[in-house]
Amino acid sequence: MLAKFLETVRQRITRPLQYYQDICVRCGACIDACHFYVVSGNPAHIPAYRMMLVKKLLQSDGGSRKGILGWYRETGMASERMVTELRQALWECTGCRRCSVFCPFDLDTALLVNMGRYALGQEGMGMEMVAEIGNAEVSKGEIIDALKEFYVDQVRELEGRIRQEWGVPDLRIPVDEPARVLYVPVVGEHAIIPLAKIFHAAKESWTLSMFTATNHSFFVGDIEKAKQAAHWIVQEARRLGAQVIAYAECGHATRTLLNFWDHWFGDEIAGIQRVSVVQLVASYLQEGRIRVREGAFDVPMTYHDPCNLGRNAGIFEEPRMLIRAVATDFRELSPNRELNWCCGGGGGMIAEPEMFEVRMKAGRPKVEQIQRTGARWVVTTCENCKTQLADLSERYGLGVEIKGAVDLIADALVL
Ligand code: SF4
Ligand code: SF4
């Protein structure tokens, strides 16, 4: 039992991860930082306990000859309960890294959880839907030529609609053309329309990627596949001579782009700037390349810092700059920035239907934060957060509208 899990953990555990388990002094500073534990009171949700569980399993299996069975007999834990705890510890975590901010040693529970998830997947205890979407993102590159005609047709139809609705007959959505900026969207025209308008207004040389930014293999800890999926975009950028790769409002994807790609691709991406589209649009505003109607929106609004864009990639000010450019009543959540509460929808949970109730509960601290502001619009810059916040609004009767920061700018553009 759990033989594959343990074998994989033993193969994959790195020295830093071992240190994390050894350095933890059980001070408890991380306990109340985790939204899962705050709402559940379940010890399996305590960040340090998540790490200790993996350590205990490794030790009991390797050192004492009693095996895992011996350990949970010793601790009085039934096997079923132990497996449930392990699942909860490794899957009911959004990888938000709020616990690391409170840990005096910066121990990165999320990193260990990510590795543990991959190991659980080898044991047949993975999030299958998420892994399947990840596989599709990898294999898309192999059939991209066959998909191109259909994709271009769809984009042309969308382009025609935007031209008509917006009254801009010369607006273009270039696909697979050499350009300065390669824009990589998420699935859905809502991720293309505002940027088509903004790029047009900024007179940017841009092209739309044939791929999507999302990288579900990252959620299940399958780093080899995460690299393969991202590598299609690297190849596309090089083929088109792009100087900038701009990712859509997508937290985990932006985190991989900004924090992992140097390590994954080294010289292959040298000289190509990588940004969130939020940063790119903020630069257009700063440089005067686009103009917006100041005070265009007279609605009380707040901003939710996506964990992966804010705490994990350092993008705090640019979204606020976009909001302040068009809002008359911007109200900060408390706490915000690196201490912001996770919305409870990260870590791949959105894509896994059976996690719905778990994420609804985990979002309660976020709901209370929003209620305290009295905001009617909640702006955010991550696709997962948008879905989760909309679901939370419905479940808890918040009655708020969820907006992207770039949507606000597109809707307030002055041509
Ligand atoms: S990364 Fe976030 S969800 Fe995971 S244990 Fe830490 S605080 Fe909890
Ligand atoms: S805050 Fe850090 S050292 Fe303290 S219990 Fe949590 S993980 Fe361990």
- Kindly state if the Cβ of 97 falls inside 6 Å of ligand 1: yes
**Band of pLDDT at residue 63, cut at 50, 70 and 90:** very low
Going by CA atoms, what residue is nearest to atom 7 of ligand 1?
A: 34
Contacting residues for 258 by C-beta, under 8 A, at least 6 apart: 274, 276, 313
Give the position, in ligand 1's atom list, of the atom nearest the Cα of 37: 8
Whether the pLDDT of residue 172 is over 90: the answer is yes
Which of 192, 214, 55 is closest to 134 using CA atoms?
214
Mean pLDDT in the chain? Answer: 94
- Kindly state if the Cβ of 109 falls inside 6 Å of ligand 1: yes
pLDDT of residue 72: 59
CA 39 to chain centroid, in Å, comes to 22
Q: What is the mean pLDDT of residues 221-239?
A: 97
Is the separation of the CB atoms in 303 and 332 below 8 Å?
yes
The DSSP H or E segment spanning 208 is strand 206-208
- The per-residue DSSP string of 27-82 comes to --TTGGG-HHHHHH--GGGSHHHHHHHHHHHHHHHHTSSSHHHHHHHHTT--HHHH
Taking the centre of ligand 2 as the mean of its atom positions, its distance from the CA of residue 189, in whole angstroms, is 43
How far is residue 344 from each of residues 93, 158, 365, 367, 391, measured CA to CA in Å?
Answer: 8, 33, 9, 10, 11
pLDDT of residue 366: 98
**Band of pLDDT at residue 174, cut at 50, 70 and 90:** very high
Q: What is the mean pLDDT of residues 147-153?
A: 95
**Band of pLDDT at residue 295, cut at 50, 70 and 90:** very high
Taking the centre of ligand 2 as the mean of its atom positions, its distance from the CA of residue 307, in whole angstroms, is 20
What pTM value is reported for the model? Answer: 0.94
Is it true that domain 3-126 has CATH number 1.10.1060? yes
Taking the centre of ligand 2 as the mean of its atom positions, its distance from the CA of residue 340, in whole angstroms, is 19
Torsion of CA 374, 377, 383, 389, to 10 degrees: 40
Is the separation of the CB atoms in 307 and 338 below 8 Å?
no
**Band of pLDDT at residue 81, cut at 50, 70 and 90:** confident
Over the stretch 91-139, which tens digit does the pLDDT of each residue have?
999 999 999 999 999 999 999 999 999 999 999 998 899 999 999 999 9
Taking the centre of ligand 2 as the mean of its atom positions, its distance from the CA of residue 98, in whole angstroms, is 12
Taking the centre of ligand 2 as the mean of its atom positions, its distance from the CA of residue 48, in whole angstroms, is 6
Whether the pLDDT of residue 57 is over 90: the answer is no
> What single-letter amino acid sits at 210?
M
pLDDT of residue 58: 84
Going by CA atoms, what residue is nearest to atom 3 of ligand 2?
A: 24
Whether the pLDDT of residue 70 is over 70: the answer is no
Whether the pLDDT of residue 408 is over 80: the answer is yes
Task: List the chain domain ranges.
Answer: 3-126, 133-286, 294-414
205: tokens are 């040389």
Over the stretch 303-356, which tens digit does the pLDDT of each residue have?
999 999 999 999 999 999 999 999 999 999 999 999 999 999 999 999 999 999
Give the position, in ligand 2's atom list, of the atom nearest the Cα of 31: 6
Q: What is the mean pLDDT of residues 273-280?
A: 98
Taking the centre of ligand 1 as the mean of its atom positions, its distance from the CA of residue 185, in whole angstroms, is 27
Phi/psi for 380 (5° steps) reads -150, 175
Architecture of domain 294-414: 3-Layer(aba) Sandwich (3.40)
Ligand with the closest atom to the CA of 30: 2
- Kindly state if the Cβ of 34 falls inside 6 Å of ligand 1: yes
Over the stretch 364-387, which tens digit does the pLDDT of each residue have?
999 999 999 999 999 999 999 999
